[in-house]
Amino acid sequence: MSLNIDSKALNLSPSIDQRNDVLGFRSQPPSSAGAGSFSKILSNAQQNSRVNSLTPALISQVTVKPGDTLSNIVKNFLGERGVQASPSDVLRMAQDVAKSSGIQNPDRIFPGQRLNLSSLQAGLAGPSGASPAGHANGVATGLEDIAMATPASVQLFTKVDAQANPILQKTLDRAVDKGFIPANERQAVHDRILQMATEYKFAPDDFARITLMESDGMNPKASNNRCHGIIQFCDGPDRGAASVGFGANPKAILKQSVLQQLDMVAKYFDDTGLKNFGPAGLDDLYLTVLTPAARQETRPHVGLNIAGTQASHLYVNKDTRANITRQSILQGLHQFANERLGLDNKPVAQAAPTLPPTRAQLMRVSAYFNPATNPIR
């Protein structure tokens, strides 16, 4: 891991209209649905318990229109049903929709695409098809029922949290089994990763895939004698260990817990300007960890300037004599994670070689263009 960032560029935060960005969403305050007085609960419950003729029809698919983003489709779907979601919940649900719709590149959707919303339907439905308020036919049977009703958003989040981010959940379970994470810290680690995912706009499953490649899945003592910890903070000036305050004694990182190292990861993401990339795909997230300067090349099939020998999964066709490209990184990280977790490996669809980068991608990386030679990780 190395740093090669133009310090002037870090002050640039251009406003980008990412119309084709699946996970693009504007920040909004987290939902506070779980709090409120009896009168507020009563009012919300009464609104959610109107007759069936006023309830939006069940929708299992939707067609993408020009200007749509996946997150806005999710928010509109929930809003029509009286449910407000926090940005982190919208992010997770958007990723679920992408997965169920067979979208291999979650950074792009196109007008005319059909999206499968079954995961959203499942999140809204209660046990045995119960309505969000928990009443038969969506109608409250009395004031006591209304007062005791669980707000729809709280019920939704509970269900979504249980099914979201399967790669992260399996990675955490594996880390506990291997002794990387104490069992009593698993939830805290999970929550910290979700918090970071919201702050830096990446997919929690993608972060899990990166740790599987870098440290066998959040092993805080992983080391190759030069790089250490869950994302491999490397020795040397202006590199990962120095960025997080361990330049003088990088191996001291190995004494830090996963929770402590997650705070170090957040600092490193700040130093490398990850926030300014907007929603970060798996390739941008991994390049931030591996060689931040390589992010300036956005074409999927062009060889990246990455020094040193890396894991074979990262190369085109797993051939270390070939190039590492954005597409080979995506394929390699998915395949490696599936192998580690014992999941079925399905090939990642190849993007068209002639497909140009989007305007949003070019603008995201233009602020970071640095013609200096890529430093060794």
- Which of 132, 163, 194 is the last residue in one of the domains? 163
- Rounded CA separation 363/25 (Å): 17
pLDDT in tens, 183-192: 999 999 999 9
pLDDT in tens, 39-90: 454 455 445 444 343 445 556 788 888 888 888 888 888 888 878 777 777 7
**Cα-Cα-Cα-Cα dihedral of 114, 118, 120, 124, to 10°?**
150
Residue 368 has pLDDT above 60, yes or no: no
Q: What is the pLDDT of residue 1?
A: 57
In terms of domains, do 245 and 288 share one? yes
Under the banding of pLDDT at 50, 70 and 90, the label for residue 341 is very high
- Which one is predicted more confidently, 337 or 375? 337
Q: What is the pLDDT of residue 254?
A: 95
Q: Mean pLDDT for the chain?
A: 74
Under the banding of pLDDT at 50, 70 and 90, the label for residue 230 is very high
- Mean pLDDT (whole number) for 268-292: 91
116 lies in some domain: yes
Alpha helices, DSSP H, located in 178-325: 186-200, 204-215, 240-243, 258-271, 282-290
Percent of the chain surpassing pLDDT 90: 41
Query: What φ, ψ does residue 48 adopt, rounded to 5°?
Result: -80, -5
In terms of domains, do 176 and 129 share one? no
- Which one is predicted more confidently, 268 or 54? 268
pLDDT in tens, 232-245: 998 877 788 888 98
In terms of domains, do 211 and 293 share one? yes
Q: What is the pTM of this model?
A: 0.54
Domains contained in the chain, number: 2
Helix (H) or strand (E) holding 62: strand 61-63
Domain of residue 12, residue span: 7-16+166-366
In terms of domains, do 47 and 192 share one? no
- Which one is predicted more confidently, 11 or 321? 321
In terms of domains, do 257 and 199 share one? yes
In terms of domains, do 144 and 256 share one? no
Residue 222 has pLDDT above 50, yes or no: yes
- Mean pLDDT (whole number) for 138-151: 40
Of 73, 133, 67, 130, whose CA–CA distance to 98 is shortest? Answer: 73
- Rounded CA separation 300/260 (Å): 34
30 lies in some domain: no
Under the banding of pLDDT at 50, 70 and 90, the label for residue 205 is very high
Of 118, 123, 102, 283, whose CA–CA distance to 203 is shortest? Answer: 283
In terms of domains, do 179 and 155 share one? no
Q: What is the pLDDT of residue 345?
A: 59
Radius of gyration in angstroms for the set of CA atoms belonging to the chain, rounded to a whole number: 22
Q: Return the percent helix, strand and coil in the chain, to nearest 5.
A: 50, 5, 45
- Mean pLDDT (whole number) for 362-376: 45
138-147, 177-186, 306-315: segment of lowest average pLDDT? 138-147
Q: What is the pLDDT of residue 235?
A: 86
Residue 11 has pLDDT above 70, yes or no: no
- Rounded CA separation 34/79 (Å): 17
Under the banding of pLDDT at 50, 70 and 90, the label for residue 346 is low
25 lies in some domain: no
In terms of domains, do 194 and 141 share one? no
117-126, 242-251, 319-328: segment of lowest average pLDDT? 117-126
